[in-house]
Amino acid sequence: MPLLTIRLSRIAFLCAWIIAILIAVEISLQAYYRVKYGDWLAGRVGIPIYAEDPDRFFRVAPGLSYNHATPEFDVIYYTNNLGFRTDSTRKANSWEKPESTYRVLVLGSSFTFGIGVDYEDTFLARIRTEFAESNPNLEILSIATPGQSIWQQQCWLEAHGRELEADLIVQIITGSGRLRHECDHDFASPPSVKDRFLYSAKATRATRIRNTVKNLGIVYFSWQALSRAELADEQTDPAFVELAPLWDLPALSPARQIDSYTQYLDDVARIVGSEPNVIFVHIPYNFVVDEAYLDRWKRSGFTAEHVSQLHKFGLELARLMEESGINFVSLIDGLVQMQQTEQVYNFTDIHFTPAGHKLLSEFLIDRIRTAVDGTASPEQD
């Protein structure tokens, strides 16, 4: 047999042997994750909880009982007849407003929905419990939907806002604090729902391949091990990657954002037919609260400069909101203080822990009480 043929045969055998080992390792890691956490790796992020919606493209499906298990949490999401998150009793709601009811409508995405925590630990459940005896006529409705933008929920509000007769609207804003709310009725690439999974219309072949690779056991557990090693290394430089664009920071000017928030209030007034009572709540990125979380983000190009810029932006935005008379809750200082004694965000998942929800509920309870009857307990700082 020619020497070249022998070498090629050996190389082919070696490649086949390596591939067989990798497949065996991958199957073992997937099985380990499944046995330990009750779900496949793909279930960490892609969860089947959605239904189509004609006004905002998608919503949380009604009648859910979905177990979401990851290395950081193991919870069950229950939803009622309208797709609102509830406890296991799935108490029904109606869009029709009962007589003598003070209705609070809460808008937001995954933090508002309560990804990663039991219903009883969410800030909305805590608020409902707080007012159950003192004000049983207070009703809280929330269309919180993981992955949904503010502008998408504004489309829904335009269609249903007036008939809801909400007395108070709570708008949760996550991330930088920048507000983009104008409904885009002509959105060219709306997401879609199939078998209760949410799919982005903008997902390219490269994006789908990348997401598939991220859910491989070999990749996931290697990333976990690398992250732990970096966190244990005191010499780790959080800025070792090239500085990513800071989202056109001049456009993130707090002063310019006041106009966006004011326009939001004007648009809601037009929708509901009267001057709205709105509370804005800003939940910052976790690394703005504690740079230890930055290791989770730095492969995406986030650096220590983002921490400084976004921290300053958030605090200045809160100051200008207060000066402008806009009802705005900034959680930055409160979260920073709580983080010294309790973990307020999950590390890998990025959402609030029960401690984060507890803090948010404490801030909002006073604001809601003030809106309802003008009686608040001592102001939180």
Chain centroid to CA 192: how far?
19
Which SS3 state, helix, strand or coil, does residue 138 take? strand
pLDDT at position 115 over 80:
yes
Task: Give the span between the Cα atoms of 324 and 137, in whole angstroms.
Answer: 31
Count CA atoms within 13 Å of residue 160 on its CB side. Answer: 17
Averaged pLDDT of the chain:
83
- Global pTM reads 0.78
Residues 167-174 have a mean pLDDT of 96
> Average pLDDT for residues 125-146, to the nearest whole number?
94
CA dist., res. 179 & res. 173, Å (int): 7
Q: Determine contact, residues 377/369, Cβ cutoff 8 Å.
A: yes
Direct distance between the N- and C-terminal alpha carbons of the chain, in angstroms, rounded to an integer: 82
Q: Are 176 and 313 in contact (CB under 8 A)?
A: yes
* More confident call, 169 vs 69: 169
134: enclosing H helix or E strand: helix 123-134
pLDDT tens digits, one per residue of 285-314: 999 999 888 877 776 667 787 788 888 889
Q: Which pLDDT does position 33 carry in this prediction?
A: 67
Residue 359: pLDDT over 60: yes
CA dist., res. 333 & res. 340, Å (int) = 11
What per-residue confidence (pLDDT) applies to 346?
92
User: Which domains does the chain show, CATH number per domain?
Assistant: 76-187+244-373 (3.40.50.1110)
What's residue 88's pLDDT? Answer: 94
**Separation CA 42–CA 34 (nearest Å):** 10
Question: Higher-confidence residue: 2 or 308?
Answer: 308
Q: Find the mean pLDDT for residues 221-229.
A: 61
DSSP 8-state code for residue 345: B
Task: Please report where in the chains the tokens 């970096």 appear, as a residue.
Answer: 230
Say yes or no to pLDDT of 208 above 50: yes
Q: Is the pLDDT of residue 38 over 90?
A: no
pLDDT tier at 71, thresholds 50, 70, 90 = confident
